[in-house]
Structure 1
Amino acid sequence: LSIGKRNQKINFRLKNHSLQLTTSDGGTMPIVSQVKDFELEQLNEKIYLSLYFDSGEYYESNLLLEKYENEEK
């Protein structure tokens, strides 16, 4: 995401075995293909991504993303 869109929300979705990042303004970017499933989990103020591939391989990493704080009341 660009600096000009720091408050933009992003989502991850799995579509046709492709993990995609979608943005609140309607943009979509494929990240990785041949994905069977994925998980996002928050632990100690970090967000962890786990990827499960069609081949049986498994990877996990922490993401350098700020947690979204809904300021609307």
Structure 2
Amino acid sequence: MTRIKSFTIFEILISLSIFAAILSIFSLSFSNFKKREKNSYFIEYHQMILKIEDRYGKTEWSDKDQKIRFLTNGHEDTYSYFRFKKASVQMTTSEGGTMPLIDNVKRFKIFSINDRLNILVEFLDGTTFQNRLMIKKRRTDVLPK
């Protein structure tokens, strides 16, 4: 009688348990990666807020012509505004200079509610942040041409 060589049930169970252990380690590391990515977005978002908000209180905003513009005291002839382009938010000056603020953005909105400036950023993975900025509205709505 010839014996057919094959795997025993015990060998199959061992190989399945090793495969399950490797799969569980992979899923844990993937979930940690997603958490780190979300923390990275949180840090990038708050770095952008720090760049916008002037800690010395020199920056004010105005919404003349339905556009929100940032004005710096002492530089009355220039202003800055935001531009959303190719999944990136940029701050642009009236003189043509551009500074990238944040990348991997799906949606960006800056709006005013009761004379308070609000900002909303949604990243490509769906993570969303919204803040009220601590920038005063300029009472005399005079902007450079």
TM above 0.5:
yes
**Residue 123 of structure 2: aligned partner:** 53
| Runs of 5+ unmatched residues, structure 2 | 1-58, 60-71
**Counterpart residue identity of residue 70, structure 1:** V
Give the Å deviation of 1:51. 0.3
Amino acid at match of 1:9: Y
The equivalences for 1:1-73 within 5 A come to 4-5=74-75, 8-67=78-137, 69-70=141-142
User: Structure 1: which 5+ runs fail to align?
Assistant: none
C-alpha separation in 2, matches of 1:46 and 1:59 = 17
Distance 1:52 1:22 in 2: 20
Q: For residues 3-51 of structure 1, what are the alpha-carbon distances to aligned partners after superposition, in whole Å with 9 as ceiling and x for unaligned?
A: 5425532111111111001011111111110001111111121110000
Aligned residues: 72
Which shifted more, 26-35 or 5-14? Answer: 5-14
TM-score normalised to structure 2 length:
0.43
Cα-Cα RMSD: 2.4
Structure 1 distance, partners of 2:94, 2:143, is 16
CA distance, structure 2, for counterparts of residue 23 and residue 54 of structure 1 = 26
User: Which TM-score applies when normalising by structure 1?
Assistant: 0.78
Quick one: distance in 1 between partners of 2:118 and 2:110?
6
